[in-house]
């Protein structure tokens, strides 16, 4: 048995797609994995993260076929054991990275079958992710969950398993109305279940400072959106933290099409973009500092 670790579960949530949940989950997990032991979970049937962490390019095909049969996150709905896969060497050797890495483990998504499985399981199905993580989270400092754009049973599993929540919001017109609706859903769910959270982080994403709309939405996020969260009965009691906005930059999609973590991509192919890495490091530090302050 390894030494007991922090075991903090952080989830990227928003019922809207394309707001940078997956991108943020991967960059945050990679950032935290520099000095910590991190588990990254692909909890989305779209399996974007599972495509990014291209296991097939690094592990033997027969081994992976066997592994995928037994070890996707789907297994929690059968109440079966899952063994996370150690991807530290994929990053270290496969991506030839010079960015330091301590330990990064990963649980892939099985694709579309995830949603079917969740809906077909009877009884206590909202707590299956939490129960599974309770068994293994103390082996990790941080568990990062990339979630799906919906408010289904799968989403409830994510909500109930998390210690802190991160809501990425794209700084585009019409984002706020949907974001407010999403807050209402979270508020009702945590009211129904009586759950509480240490922190709720709000992260404006894909921000283009040259666009008037983006500027207006960013300012709304900082004011009326935060006020709206604070006004809700249950969510309003959580410590709400506004993170620095992440700009819209092509380096994010470039790294993704190379199937690299952004830190490793910039370090190797695009070293002019180090400002982005500094920003990601700053955001990750804000998150971990806030979490450890709460725990004192």
Q: Minimum distance from CB of 64 to ligand ADP (Å)?
A: 23
Residue 48 vs 125, nearer CB to ligand ADP: 48
CB 148 within 8 Å of CB 15: no
Q: What's the closest the beta carbon of residue 20 comes to ligand ADP, in angstroms?
A: 4
Q: What is the maximum alpha-carbon separation in the chain?
A: 54
Q: Which of 278, 250, 285 is nearest to 263 (CA)?
A: 278
Instruction: Please report, for residues 9, 58, 70, 74, 137, the alpha-carbon distance to residue 110 in angstroms, rounded to integers and kept in the order given.
Output: 21, 18, 10, 7, 21
- How far apart are alpha carbons 159 and 162 in whole angstroms? 6
> Which residues form the interface with ligand ADP (CB under 6 A)?
17-23, 48, 149, 205-206, 246, 248-249, 252-253, 256
Give residues with Cβ within 8 angstroms of 212, minimum separation 6. Answer: none
Query: Distance between CA 80 and CA 139 in Å, rounded?
Result: 18
Q: How far is the CB of 140 from ligand ADP (least distance, A)?
A: 22
Q: Which of Mg ion, ligand ADP, none has residue 96 at its interface (CB below 5 to 8 Å by kind)?
A: none
Closest distance to Mg ion from the beta carbon of 170 (Å): 12
248 binds, among Mg ion, ligand ADP, none (CB under 5 to 8 A by kind): ligand ADP
Instruction: Specify the residue, 21 or 137, whose C-beta has the smaller distance to Mg ion.
Output: 21
The residues in 12-71 that bind Mg ion, with binding defined as CB under 5 A, are 21-22, 48
Q: Shortest gap between Cβ of 108 and ligand ADP (angstroms)?
A: 15
What distance lies between CA 218 and its chain's CA centroid? 21
Q: Toward Mg ion, which CB reaches closer, 22 or 256?
A: 22
Helix (H) or strand (E) holding 71: helix 61-71
Nearest to ligand ADP of 22, 288 (CB atom): 22
**Shortest gap between Cβ of 40 and Mg ion (angstroms)?**
13
Q: Is the dihedral of CA 87, 89, 93, 94 positive or negative?
A: negative
Is 21 or 125 the residue whose CB approaches ligand ADP more closely?
A: 21
Spatial distance between the Cα atoms of 100 and 285, rounded to a whole number of angstroms: 16
Cβ 246 to ligand ADP shortest distance, Å:
5
Contacted entry of ligand ADP, Mg ion, none for residue 215, CB cut-off 5 to 8 Å set by kind: none
3-class DSSP assignment, residue 201: strand
Which does residue 104 touch among ligand ADP, Mg ion, none (CB within 5 to 8 A, set by kind)? none
Element (H, E) at 242: strand 239-242
- Cβ nearer to Mg ion, comparing 72 with 97: 72
Choose between 97 and 162: whose C-beta lies nearer to Mg ion. 162
By CB under 5 A, name the binding residues for Mg ion.
21-22, 48
């Amino acid at each position: 048995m390894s030494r007991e670790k922090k075991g903090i579960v952080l989830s990227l949530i928003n019922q809207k797609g394309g707001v940078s949940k997956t991108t943020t989950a991967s960059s945050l997990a990679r950032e935290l994995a520099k000095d910590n032991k991190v588990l990254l979970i692909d909890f989305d049937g779209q399996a974007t993260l599972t495509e990014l962490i291209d296991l097939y390019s690094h592990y033997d095909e027969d081994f992976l076929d066997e592994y995928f049969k037994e070890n996707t996150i789907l297994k929690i709905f059968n109440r079966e054991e899952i063994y996370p896969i150690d991807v530290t060497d994929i990053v270290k050797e496969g991506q030839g990275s010079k960015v330091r890495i301590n330990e990064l483990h990963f649980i892939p998504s099985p694709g579309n079958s995830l949603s079917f499985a969740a809906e077909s399981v009877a009884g206590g199905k909202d707590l299956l992710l939490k129960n599974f993580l309770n068994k293994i989270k103390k082996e990790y400092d941080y568990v990062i969950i990339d979630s799906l754009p919906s408010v289904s049973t799968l989403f409830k599993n994510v909500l109930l398993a998390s210690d802190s929540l991160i809501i990425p919001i794209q700084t585009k017109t019409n984002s706020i109305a949907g974001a407010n609706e999403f807050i209402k859903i979270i508020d009702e769910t945590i009211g129904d279940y009586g759950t509480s959270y240490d922190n709720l982080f709000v992260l404006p994403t894909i921000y283009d400072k040259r666009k008037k709309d983006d500027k207006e939405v960013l300012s709304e996020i900082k004011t009326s959106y935060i006020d709206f969260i604070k006004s809700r009965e249950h969510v309003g009691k959580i410590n709400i933290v506004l993170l620095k906005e992440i700009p819209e930059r092509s380096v994010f999609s470039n790294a993704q099409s190379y199937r690299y973590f952004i830190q490793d991509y910039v370090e190797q192919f695009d070293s002019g973009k180090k400002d982005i890495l500094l920003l990601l490091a700053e955001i990750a530090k804000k998150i971990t500092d806030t979490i450890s302050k709460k725990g004192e």
